[in-house]
Structure 1
Amino acid sequence: MNDNTEEALIAGLPMSKLPSTFRDAVLVLHQLGIQYLWIDSLCIKQDSREEWLREAPRMQQVYGSAAVNIVAAHVDNPESGLFHTRDPSSIESTICRAEWDDEPTKDYLIWNRKEFDNDYTSAPLTQRGWVFQERLLAPRILHFGKSQVYWRCSALFASESWPYGTSNFSPSSSVSRKDADMIMHGLSLDKLKKTPGGSTDATTQIYHTELWADLVAKYSSCKFTKNEDKLVAMSGVAKVFRQSLHEGDRYLAGLWRSELPKLLCWRRSVRRNESDIVATRTRPSEYRAPSWSWASIDGPISYSFLHRGANIGGRSKVLLMEHLAEIINAFTVPLDKDDTAQVSHGVLTIRGRLQPFRLLSAQGANIRFEIGGEVRFSPDSRFIVDALLNENEQLEGMELWALLARCYIVNAGFVDLSFLECIVLRRQDETQNYQRVGIFTTCYGEVDGYEPLHDHVFGVYADEIRTESEGGFIAWFQFAA
C-alpha cells in the first residue's frame, strides 16, 4: 500500500489482482474459518516514514495477538505461492518397532532431521530480521516449507510426516536447547514468569540473561532490507522480556541496564577465513546506536560465557568470574516515544580501570601488543575489531585504551588458566571523547588458587569513563582523569 493504491485497496480489489502468495493465504484462512488477514505491505503505507515509525513498534501486539501466523518459508517473491508440486511418498512416516530387554515393545517414528533443518530452521525466510521476531511472538505458526507443512504452538510441534507431533523436541547438533524451545513454543509471557515475591532466583536470572544473549546473537546474523530497522525489528521481543522479567529495568539500544556488565562484552563473530583485526564491514554512515551496543555494527555478533560455572566445551569450565566495570549511569534517548525502537543518542558512564593499549603487530593467531607499558607476545590473545576503521587509518601502532571488563579463571583439564577481557577504546578528539573499537582477551597464565589478577595488571584506577553520542557522531567514550 502507498498513496497511489490506498483508495483502491479501501474500495476493494478482486482476488485475481492479488499476488499468488496472498491468494493462497486467503484460501488457507478460509479453510480455517478465520475472517481477517494482516499483511504488512497491504496494511502499512510503504512510502510513509511517519506511518512506519508509528506502526513498526506495534508488531508485538499484531503478531502476539494473532490467531495464527502463516510462514511462506521458501517464497522468493509474492508470486511464488504457498503450494508446490511434490512427491507425496517423500513425506510418508517411517515407523520402526523396537524391542528392548527391560522395556515394553514400542513403535518409533523415524524422521529426516537434516531435511527438517533445511525446511524449517534454515529456510530463506527465517534469515530475515523482521521474520525472526514474528516467529518468536506468534502464539501459533503454520509453516509452509518446501517439502511439507509444519505446525507450532505452545503445546505441540507437528508436521505432515509427524502428524501427532511432540511436546519434547530433541534438538540437532546445529540447534541449541534454548533455540529448540523457541522453535517449538515461541516466546511468551508464560515462559518468562517471575518467582513469587516479584524477584527471580539466581538460576532463573542466569538462564534469561543467556537466553537474551543467545537471541541477540541469532538475530544479528539476520538480513535486513533496511539496516536502520535493526533495533525496531527486535522491539517486540524486548517488550515481552520487559513485561515478564525486566519490569522497571531500562532497555538501552539492545542491552538491559541491570545486566550491562555482562552484556557489554559482545564481540563481532569471526569466521575461519576472516581476520580478528581486519573487519569486513564499516560502521553505518547514519547513526543507529552508541558504539557500546551490538546494534551499532552490521553483521553477526556473539557472546562468550556470561557467568561462573559455565561449560566452555569438553571438560573446560569457568571456575571464577569477576566483572570489574561499575556502571554509574546509562541511558538512551528514543527517536520516537518507544524506548525499545530507534534511538537518537546514548550515554554510558562507567567507573573502572583503564590502561594505554597499543597493537604492535599481528601475524595469524599471534599478536604482539603493549599494555600498561609492558610489551607482550601471546598466541592465546585475541583482539577482535568491531568494524573497519576510517579510510587510510592503520590499527597497528594506533594509541588505544583498554577498559578492563572482567577477569576469569578457566579449568582446562589439569591446569587452571587466568584470562583478562578488555573493551578497547580509541580517543576521538582532544576533548577526551572515546569510541569503542573492539574487545581484547588475553591468557595471563597459570594460577594456583584465586589471586586478584586485575590489581596486578591494572594498577591505574580510572575515575570515570563517559560514553555519549549526539547529532551525526557515532558514539563517544569520554575519560575524565
Structure 2
Amino acid sequence: MKRFLRSLRNEANSDCQYCRELHDGQLRISATELIQGLLCCPACQLLYQSISPSDLSDPRIVLAHVRLSGDSQVSHTFDPKSEAMSRQLRAEEGFSKGGWFAGPSYPPAATYSPVERTVELFSLEGHTSHWLNIGTSRHISTAADAPECLDLIRTWVSDCDRKHRGCKKTSSAILPDRVIFVGSGADPHLVESQGTLGKYIALSHRWGGEVPLQLKKHTANDFKRGIPFSQFPKTFQDAITICRALAVEYIWIDSICIIQDSKEDWEIQGSKMDQVYANCFLTIAADAAENSHAGFIRTSERQDLRTKTRKLVCYGPKGEKSEIFVRPWREFGSLGGFGRHYFESLEREDLKPPQRLTDQGSYLLRRGWVLQETFLPPRALHFLPGEVTWRCASVSRCECQLRPHGSVVHEPLDRERPREISSDDLKEYWKEVIEQYTRRQLTFPSDRLAALAGCASRAHSSSPDVDYYAGLWSDALPSTLLWVVDRPPVNSGGHGDCDSHRIEPSIAPTWSWASVTGYVDFLFWKRNFDRGSWAKSAPDLTVVHIHCPPLGQNKYGSVGDAKLTAEGYLCKVRVWLTGGSKWHFPFKMEAQNLDGTLSKASGFFYPDTEEVLASLQKERESGMSMMVVSVYESRLFLVLRQIEESQLVFERIGVCHCHVSDEVVLSEWGRRERFTIV
C-alpha cells in the first residue's frame, strides 16, 4: 500500500496539491478537490474514472470524497440527501449504520450515515498500466466450466502434485465403501469398492431440504446398473462435470453413497467420515449452491461481476496511454475466498445470518456437518458465487488474483491459513473446534455428536490411549466439564436460533456440551481468566469413573445411559439472580454451613438451558435451591439438580463462578462425597 501511495505522490503532476495531501499512509480527496485536479493530474483522472457512472448520476446521493486505502483499493463515499434516504438506502442495500472506519475523520459537513462503494483497480497480466503499483489480476470467467477457468484449476492441481513438498500425495487411496463411477462418458453408476484403490473426489454440499436423488434400500440395485445424468440434481451434475474435467473417475456424494433409510449404514459410514475426506483426491465445496437443485458452475454473481467490470482508458504519469480495469471489491472471504478481498474473521457475530450469507458468499459456512468436511480434506476447491478458490496445505489461491495469498489470520484452526490441520491440531485445539462447531446449524439436533464424529476420529488417532466421552477427552477432565452456554445479544439476529434447550430424546449426558442446542463457549480459558492457568492447579473434584456406551455402531456418535461418578464437596445452596446480560447472570448465593451458620458468595451464573434460566427468573424473590460442587479453586462450580431423592444422582443445569474476593471454605459448606451426574 505504501509503495502505491508513494508512486502516486512521486509520479503525479507536481502541480496537483491534492495528490500531495498524503498522510498517515492513506489518500483522501474531497469531491470538490478531485474535480479541480482532473485537468492537470492523471492520478486524479484515474480515481475519478473509477467511480461508477450510475452512482454519479444517482439523484439520491452526492459524492463526498474518494479514498485510497490498500493495494489498488479505492472507496467512493457518498452522502444521502436526507435522513429518510439514508435509512432507505441502508434497508435496500445493507449499508453500515455506522458509516466507514478508515480515514482521519469524516467530513464535518456530513449529516447522515454515508454510502460507500469500494472497487479494485487492476491491469491484466502482460499489459502494463504505467502505474507500477497497481497490481495485475485476472478477469473472472462467466462460468466455472469455461475453458480458461478449468485450465486454471488444472494448473493449481498440477502445481500441488508436482511442487508442494508439504502436501500429501493423493494419486490413489482405498476407495470409500461406495462411490459413483463418472468416467468414460457413460451414465454414472454406483460402485461397491470392496477395498480397491482409486482416485476420487468428495462433494461437500448443502442439502437445503429434500434431495431428490437418494440411495435407499430398494434403489441400490438400480443405482448400480446406472443413473442417467439427467436424473442428478444440478449441484451434483456440476460436481460430476468438474470431476470429469480433472480426469477423476469416482466421486463420493453422501446422499448417494450412504443408504438413507438405514440407521445402521448411517452409523457405519458416519464413523468412517474422516477417512472419506482425508483420503480423497480433493474436495469440491459447493459454497454457491443453496441446495441440490441450485448448481454452482453458472451463477448470477459471476455474470454481474463481469458486467460491472469496466475498462478505463487512461494515462500514466508521463502521459502514456494506459489500460486499467475496475471492478467491485468483494470484501469477505469464505473458507477459501482469501487474499486481497479478505477483511475480517469468518465469525462476525454483529451480522445477522442472511447478511453473513450475502457478504461471505457461502451456503456451507454455517452448516454443522460441513465443519469436518472443511478440516479433514487435504485440499479443496471452493466454488463461491463470484469465483473459484483453491486451498491446500501449502498455498491458497483465488481465480481473480495471480499471486498466492499469504496468511491473513493466525488462528490455529482457521482454514484461511494454508496448511494441513493434523490430528494433533484437532486434539490440542478441541475446545476451539467445539466453539466453532456449536455456532453452526444442524437440521436435526440429534446429529450433534454424529456430525463431528469424523473430527473426533481424526483427533483420536493422535492419542489412542485417551478415551472419548460424548465430545470430551478423558485427559482434559475435569476442567472441560466447565463449558458454558453462550447467548449472543438479541441485536445479533441469531438469538431466536441459538436458544439453548436440552436435546430430546437424549443423545448425551447433561455433563456434555452435546446435550444442549446452544452455542458453547469455554469461557474460563479466555483472557479474563488468565487463559485457563487455573486448570494447572489441583482440582477440587475427582472423576472416579465414566460409563458412556455408544447408542449405535459409531463410537463417536450418540451415547446412552451415560454416567459420570465423581468425588467432591457437595454443597446445598440457595441462589438469587441479581441482574442479567446476554449470557451470564449476576447472582448471590447462600449456603448453610455444617455448624448451622450462613455463608454468602456472589458471582456469575451460566444456565445451560432457557428452562433453567426461566425458573431462576421466576424465583428472583425467594431464590432457588440447588446443589453446587467445586471443580477448581473453590470458585468454579458445576450447578446440579438432584433427580433421585434417595441417592446422590444429579443432572447438570449450569456453571457458576464466585468472585475472588468471596472466601468459600468448602469443608465448612459441605461434605466431600461420591456422587453421580447423568
Q: State TM-score, norm by structure 1.
A: 0.75
| Residues 51/253 of structure 1: CA separation in 2 closer, same or farther (3 Å cut) | same
1:291-370 residue pairs with structure 2 within 5 A?
291-306=510-525, 311-312=527-528, 320=534, 322=537, 323-364=539-580, 365-370=585-590
Spell out, residue by residue over 1:196-224, the C-alpha distance to the aligned partner (whole angstroms, 9 max, x if none).
Answer: xxxxxxxxxxx954x10000111111111
Spell out, residue by residue over 1:411-449, the C-alpha distance to the aligned partner (whole angstroms, 9 max, x if none).
Answer: xxxxxxxx8111000111313221101001121329xxx
1:194-205 residue pairs with structure 2 within 5 A?
none
How far off its partner does 1:325 sit? 1.3
Q: State, as a whole percentage, how many aligned pairs show the same letter.
A: 25
Spell out, residue by residue over 1:119-154, the C-alpha distance to the aligned partner (whole angstroms, 9 max, x if none).
Answer: 897733121111111111111111111221111111
1:40-439 residue pairs with structure 2 within 5 A?
40-83=254-297, 84-85=299-300, 86=302, 87-88=305-306, 111-114=340-343, 117=346, 123-166=362-405, 168-171=406-409, 177-180=411-414, 184-189=418-423, 192=425, 208-209=427-428, 211-244=429-462, 246-273=463-490, 280-306=499-525, 311-312=527-528, 320=534, 322=537, 323-364=539-580, 365-372=585-592, 374=598, 376=600, 378=602, 381-389=603-611, 396=619, 397-407=623-633, 420-432=635-647, 433-439=649-655
Q: Which has the larger radius of gyration?
A: 2
**Which residue, out of 442, 466, 469, partners 2:676?**
466
Query: What SS is found at the alignment partner of 1:238?
Result: helix
The answer for the alignment partner of 1:16 in structure 2 is: 230
8 A Cα contact 1:283 1:388, kept in partner: no
Counterparts of 1:444 and 1:51, CA distance in 2 = 52
How far off its partner does 1:320 sit? 5.0
| Residues 20/273 of structure 1: CA separation in 2 closer, same or farther (3 Å cut) | closer
For residue 640 of structure 2, what is the amino acid of its counterpart? L
Counterparts of 2:660 and 2:417, CA distance in 1 = 40
8 A Cα contact 2:286 2:296, kept in partner: yes
Q: Give the root-mean-square deviation of aligned CA atoms.
A: 3.2
Counterparts of 2:650 and 2:342, CA distance in 1 = 48
The answer for the alignment partner of 2:75 in structure 1 is: none
Counterparts of 1:425 and 1:116, CA distance in 2 = 36
8 A Cα contact 2:446 2:507, kept in partner: yes
How far off its partner does 1:375 sit? 6.0
- Show structure 1 runs of 5+ residues with no match: 93-108, 193-206, 408-418, 447-452, 468-474, 476-481
Count of aligned pairs between the two proteins: 403
Counterparts of 2:258 and 2:553, CA distance in 1 = 19
| Residues 147/391 of structure 1: CA separation in 2 closer, same or farther (3 Å cut) | closer
The answer for the alignment partner of 1:204 in structure 2 is: none
How far off its partner does 1:391 sit? 12
Counterparts of 2:361 and 2:437, CA distance in 1 = 13
Spell out, residue by residue over 1:105-127, the C-alpha distance to the aligned partner (whole angstroms, 9 max, x if none).
Answer: xxxx9712248956897733121
- Show structure 2 runs of 5+ residues with no match: 1-214, 311-337, 347-355
The answer for the alignment partner of 1:197 in structure 2 is: none
Q: Which runs of 4+ in 1 moved over 6 A?
A: 89-92, 119-122, 316-319
Higher relative CO (Cα under 8 Å, sequence separation at least 6) belongs to: 1
| Residues 53/208 of structure 1: CA separation in 2 closer, same or farther (3 Å cut) | closer
8 A Cα contact 2:501 2:518, kept in partner: no
Spell out, residue by residue over 1:309-350, the C-alpha distance to the aligned partner (whole angstroms, 9 max, x if none).
Answer: x6439xx77775533211111231112243212211212111
For residue 368 of structure 2, what is the amino acid of its counterpart? G
8 A Cα contact 1:350 1:464, kept in partner: yes
Spell out, residue by residue over 1:43-68, the C-alpha distance to the aligned partner (whole angstroms, 9 max, x if none).
Answer: 11222222212211111111111111
Counterparts of 1:254 and 1:91, CA distance in 2 = 48
How far off its partner does 1:273 sit? 3.7
For residue 188 of structure 1, what is the amino acid of its counterpart? S
8 A Cα contact 2:607 2:613, kept in partner: no
Query: What SS is found at the alignment partner of 1:436?
Result: strand
Spell out, residue by residue over 1:350-392, the C-alpha distance to the aligned partner (whole angstroms, 9 max, x if none).
Answer: 12222112223433354333234546474xx211110133899
For residue 393 of structure 2, what is the amino acid of its counterpart? S
| Residues 69/227 of structure 1: CA separation in 2 closer, same or farther (3 Å cut) | same
| Residues 456/393 of structure 1: CA separation in 2 closer, same or farther (3 Å cut) | closer
How far off its partner does 1:185 sit? 3.1
More displaced 10-residue stretch of structure 1: 292-301 or 397-406 = 397-406
8 A Cα contact 1:355 1:458, kept in partner: no
The answer for the alignment partner of 1:195 in structure 2 is: none
Question: Which has the larger share of strand?
Answer: 1
